Structure 1
Amino acid sequence: MTRPTSTSAASSPFPPPPGARAYALSTARGAFAVVDSPAAAGVEPRGVALLLPGFTGSKEDFHLLHGPLAARGYRAVAVDGRGQNESDGPAEDQSPYSRAELARDVLAQAAALGTPLHLVGHSLGGQIARAAVLLDHSPFVSFTLLASGPAEISESQKLRVKLLHDALAGMSMPQVWEAILAMGPPEEVGGPARGFGSVEQMRLRWLNHKPAQLLATGRELCTEPDRVAELAAVPLPFHVLSGARDDTWPVTVLDEMAVRLGAHRSVIPGAEHSPNLDRPEPTAFALADFWDGLPTDGSGPRG
């Protein structure tokens, strides 16, 4: 297994939000770039959340959540997964990006943080988080699927992933970026997404991604099996959070998944596939409201 290393925070073109710290989290499976924000000064600490980004995304997709979560007493640690943005990984070997390998990375990140965690995964990050929970749920006190569905992505999104795969097969990363700009939204598989910063920062993030990571995880998004029944058997409180519209997994599919999980359900008006970017404050409040309602050990009834 190739161990990832991280770009140093001092050289990063992605400064953390106010009050947060960017650093390389050392784990048993290598170092991972994180943005870590504590609970706000004078606010009683209420818990710690580990935030996993989606396909083509990064820890910066959660930048706008750190402030409101800190104000509610929650420390938030957003991470670049293996081969994403500032976390290193092989450029050509796809085997370290299998779902199982990335799930073990999440468990190593949790172990390195050394505290019970509220786990949040956006889109692809939700499916990686699900695989981690199915391997070992013990580090976690709750699990939120943020715009992340039960199985493979929609047919329209599969087409976009195939276009991206074909482009990566014959073009350089800078050339593919120019093609992405022409693809348009939604941001899940490229496009000039709403985001945390400038188009130049988005371009730099794209160039930091490892092609093997994009190829492997894109393929898995198109073939992911339905593991909701397995997840429902895990003794954790679940939360399904989404925007009011979603092209990657229709909202009705997310509604049905929430019922199957016995999960708390939150829908953010005016948001689409990335509520964390579209409407960050209501999204942060929905997360904090869910966590506030749990027993301190994370056990108890769902819904």
Structure 2
Amino acid sequence: MTTEPAFTPPPNARAYPLPTSRGTFAVVDSPVAPGVEPRGVALLLPGFTGSKEDFTLMHEPLAARGYRTVAVDGRGQHESDGPERDEAPYAQGELARDVLAQAAALGDLGSPLHLFGHSLGGQIARAAVLLDHTPFRSLTLMASGPAQISDSQQQRVKLLRDALGVMNMAETWEAILAMGPPEEVGGPARGIGGQELLRRRWLGTKPAQLLATGRQLCTEPDRVDELAALPLSFHVLSGASDDTWPVPVLDEMAARLNARRTVIPGAEHSPNADQPLRTAQAVADFWDTVDDGGVRATEA
């Protein structure tokens, strides 16, 4: 892990290494706002080429609603360590077990624990609850679909993987910038923070992590029926457009899950960055319903 943080945490939040039974993971931990009654804890998982900082603009509004939020760099992402070249530790099952270890390490299971995953993070979160759903009260899938990513995004991932086969991370960064700013997949130039901070994040990410998880995104099977059988409350959230999983695909997945469905106007594949206040409000509204014992609902 780096000794000097690349990003400044939001007010009242703390960046620190979280020790778990499966290693140490870099987190940003934002407590409930002073004077607000605590309502629960949420573990936030970032997407492909992303990091815990992708949730920076959501921490404060969620804290004001009574939710402690813990955003984590997964194994080999940004400030969490992992092997450079060995892809085996980045198999989806291994990353899912990391999530269960992170949940256990939070040690605050007296409060409801909600799991939230963006894009790739949503598919890792799904794999985690399919291994063991008992630590969690709910699962929110943000811009994260039922199976493999779209054909156009698969082509971007292939280009990235081909580049990583012949270039180092710094050279690959420059090559991707020259291609333009794709939404998320293969596009480390997009995100919260200036370009130099995003470059530092990219250079901290392990190439084996990108290679392994990129392959997962291109081959992920449909496991929605397995997920729907779990006794969890589900929320499917997305922007009004999405090139990675088209919005109608996410609509259909939400129906199969009997999930609450939220579409954020003015947002694309990263509602957390495009419309963070609306996204935080929608997420807190869902968590409030879960914590109050409400049934799953659908909204537009």
Which ranges of structure 1 fall in alignment gaps of 5 or more residues? 1-5
Amino acid at match of 2:48: F
Give deviations 1:84-119, integer Å, cap 9, x for gaps: 000000000000000000000000000001224110
Question: Which runs of structure 1 show a deviation greater than 4 angstroms over 4 or more consecutive aligned residues?
Answer: none
Cα distance between partner residues in 2 of 1:300 and 1:17: 31
- Specify the alignment match of 1:204 in structure 2: 200
C-alpha displacement of 1:281:
0.2
Which piece of structure 1 moves more, 263-272 or 192-201? Answer: 192-201
- Cα deviation 1:146-199 (Å, max 9, x = unaligned): 100000000000000000000000011110000111222333223364422110
| Alignment match of 2:96 (pick from 91, 100, 103) | 103
Match of 2:216 in 1: 220
Q: Percent identity?
A: 75
26, 29, 32: which one pairs with 2:19? 26
- Alpha carbons 1:37, 1:76 under 8 Å: kept: yes
Distance 1:54 1:30 in 2: 20
| Distance change in 2, residues 1:194/1:216 (3 Å) | closer
Could you tell me which runs of 5 or more consecutive residues in structure 2 were left unpaired when the two chains were aligned: none
Gap change, CA 1:193 and 1:281, over 3 Å in 2? farther
Partner amino acid, structure 2, of 1:262 = N
**Secondary structure of 2:47 counterpart:** coil
User: Aligned AA for 2:148?
Assistant: E
Aligned-partner Cα distance in 2 for 1:149–1:186: 18
TM-score, length-normalised on structure 2?
0.96
User: Does the residue aligned with 2:267 lie in a helix, a strand or coil?
Assistant: coil
Matched position secondary structure for 1:33: strand
2: distance between equivalents of 1:229 and 1:53?
24
CA distance in structure 2 between the partners assigned to 1:162 and 1:195 by the alignment = 21
Query: How many residue pairs align between the two structures?
Result: 294
Q: Deviations over 1:263-284 (max 9, x none)?
A: 0000000000000000000000
Aligned to 2:69, what secondary structure does the other structure show?
Answer: strand
Distance in 2 (CA, whole Å) between partners of 1:217 and 1:295 is: 33
Asked if the contact 2:76/2:83 (under 8 Å) is kept, the reply is yes
Residue type at the aligned position of 1:292: D
**Residue 252 (structure 1) aligns with:** 248
Correspondent of 1:189 among 177, 185, 189:
185
**Which residue identity is paired with 1:254?**
L
Given the alignment, which residue of 26, 47, 70 partners 2:63? 70
* Paired residues of 2:54 and 2:272 also in contact (CA < 8 A): yes
Q: Secondary structure at the match of 2:42?
A: strand
Question: Kindly tell me: are residues 194 and 212 of structure 1, through their superposed partners in 2, closer, same or farther at Cα, counting changes over 3 Å?
Answer: closer
Residue 2 of structure 2 is aligned with which of 3, 7, 10? 7
Question: For the Cα contact (< 8 Å) 2:189–2:199, is it kept in 1?
Answer: no
Q: In structure 1, what is the Cα distance between the partners aligned to 2:2 and 2:180?
A: 29
- Counterpart residue number, 2:9: 16
